[in-house]
Chains A and B, each alone.
Chain A
Amino acid sequence: MKYHILFGLLSAELGLLATLHLQSAPSAERLQSELADKRALVSKLGLTDLALWTEARYTRHPSQADRFAAFQDFPSSIEHFPAGSIIAPPEPLRMPVEAGSAPSRHRAP
Chain B
Amino acid sequence: MGSYHLGRHLKILEFALSSMLRRRTKNLGLVLVFAALVFLLSSIVFLTGALRTEALATLEASPQLLVQRAMAGRHALIPLDYGELIARLPGVGSVTPRYWGYYYDIYTGANYTLLGIGDQGLESPGSTPLRLVEGSFIMPGQRRVCLIGEGVARVRGTRIGGMVSLRDARGWMQEYEVIGLFASPSRLLTNDLILLPEADLKAHFGMPDDRATDLMVEVYNPHEVDNISRKILERLPDARPISHAEIQRTYETLFNWRGGLLLAMFLGAMAAFMILAWDKATGLSADERREIGILKAIGWETSDILELKLWEGAALALVAFLAGVTAGYAHVQRFGSELLMPVLEGWSTLFPAIDLAPQLDPYALGVLFSLTVVPYIVATVVPSWKAAITDPDRVMRAS
Contacts of B121 in A (CB 8 A): 44-46
* Closest chain A residue to B263, Cβ basis: A88
Contact A104 B58 (CB under 8 A): no
Which among A6, A31, A52 is the interface contact of B315 at CB below 8 angstroms?
A6
Nearest-neighbor residue (CB-CB) of A72 within chain B:
B74
- Known contacts: A90-B253, A105-B241, A105-B246. The answer to whether A47 contacts B329 by CB under 8 A is no
CA distance A88 to B264 in the complex (A): 11
**Can you name the residue of chain B whose Cβ is closest to the Cβ of A26?**
B357
* Interface-located stretch among B287-295, B297-305, B343-351: B343-351
Q: Are B254 and A88 in contact (CB under 8 A)?
A: yes
**Whole-angstrom distance between the alpha carbons of A53 and B344 in the complex?**
9
A3–B261 alpha-carbon span in the complex (Å): 41
Within 8 A of B (CB), among A18-70: 20-21, 23-25, 27-28, 31, 34-35, 37-57, 59-60, 62-64, 66, 68
Residue of B whose beta carbon sits closest to that of A29: B357
Give A82 to B124 CA distance when docked, in angstroms.
40
The verdict on B200 contacting chain A, using a C-beta distance below 8 Å, is no
Contact B347 A41 (CB under 8 A): no
Cβ A53 vs Cβ B189 within 8 A: no
Q: Are B130 and A41 neighbours in the complex by a CB distance under 8 Å?
A: yes
| Prevailing SS type, chain A contact patch | helix
Q: Is the CB of B238 within 8 A of A46?
A: no
Q: Are B348 and A52 in contact (CB under 8 A)?
A: yes
CB-contacts of B177-212 with A (<8 A) = 182, 185-193, 195
CB distance from B20 to the nearest CB of A (A): 9
Q: Count of A residues near B, CB < 8 Å?
A: 64
Is B322 within 8 A of A10, CB to CB? yes
- A56 partner residues in chain B, CB cutoff 8 A: 111
User: What residue in chain B is nearest A53 (Cβ atoms)?
Assistant: B348
Q: Looking at the complex, which one of A27, A34, A48 makes contact with B62 (CB distance below 8 Å)? A: A48
Q: How far is the CA of A108 from the CA of B46 in the complex (A)?
A: 38
Which residue of chain B has its CB nearest to the CB of A75? B73
- Measured between beta carbons, the chain B residues less than 8 angstroms from A60 are 102, 111, 113, 192
CB of B356 closer than 8 Å to a CB of A: yes
Name the residue of chain A whose CB is nearest to the CB of B101.
A57
With A and B bound together, what is the CA distance between A9 and B334 in angstroms?
Answer: 22
- In the bound complex, CA of A99 to CA of B127 (Å): 47
Chain B's interface size range is 35 or more
Distance, CA A55 to CA B351, complexed state (A)? 10
Given contacts A37-B132, A38-B186, contact A46 B318 (CB under 8 A): no
Closest Cβ neighbor of A16 among chain B residues: B326
Judge whether B173 is part of the interface by a CB distance below 8 angstroms. no
B98 at the interface (CB under 8 A from A): yes
- In the bound complex, CA of A1 to CA of B115 (Å): 67
Rounded to whole angstroms, the CA-CA distance of A23 and B334 in the bound complex is 10
List the B side residues contacting A45 at CB < 8 Å. Answer: 115, 117, 121, 195
Q: Is B174 an interface residue (CB 8 A)?
A: no
Q: Give CA–CA (A56, B349) in the complex, Å.
A: 11
Q: Is the CB of A34 within 8 A of B350?
A: no
Q: Mark B262-278, 1 if CB is under 8 A from A, else 0.
A: 11100000000000000
Residues of B within 8 A of A14 (CB): 322
Interface check B319, CB cutoff 8 A: yes
Report B-chain residues with C-beta under 8 Å of the C-beta of A72: 73-74
The residue from A17, A51, A55 contacting B346, defined by CB atoms under 8 A apart: A55
CB–CB A44/B130 < 8 A: yes
A10: chain B residues within 8 A (beta carbon): 318-319, 322
CA A82 to CA B347, docked complex, whole Å = 7
Q: Is the CB of A109 within 8 A of B66?
A: no
B330 near A: Cβ within 8 Å?
yes
> Do A6 and B319 contact each other (CB < 8 Å), given the known contacts A43-B61, A109-B71?
yes
Segment from B229-237, B368-376, B385-393 that makes contact with A? B229-237
A98 adjacent to chain B (CB < 8 Å) = no
Contacting A63 at CB < 8 Å: which of B124, B237, B250?
B250
Contacts A35-B58, A51-B188; is A68 near B350 (CB within 8 Å)? no
Tell me the bound Cα distance from A61 to B247 in angstroms. 10
Sampled A-B contacts (21; CB under 8 Å): A2-B17, A10-B322, A13-B322, A17-B360, A25-B357, A31-B356, A38-B132, A39-B57, A42-B60, A42-B62, A47-B59, A48-B242, A50-B188, A50-B189, A52-B351, A60-B113, A63-B242, A63-B247, A64-B66, A107-B240, A109-B70
- 3 smallest beta-carbon distances between A and B, as pairs: A88-B259, A82-B346, A13-B322
- 5 extra interface residue pairs, beta carbon distance < 8 Å, beyond A16-B326, A46-B121, A104-B241: A20-B334, A66-B74, A72-B74, A105-B243, A109-B238
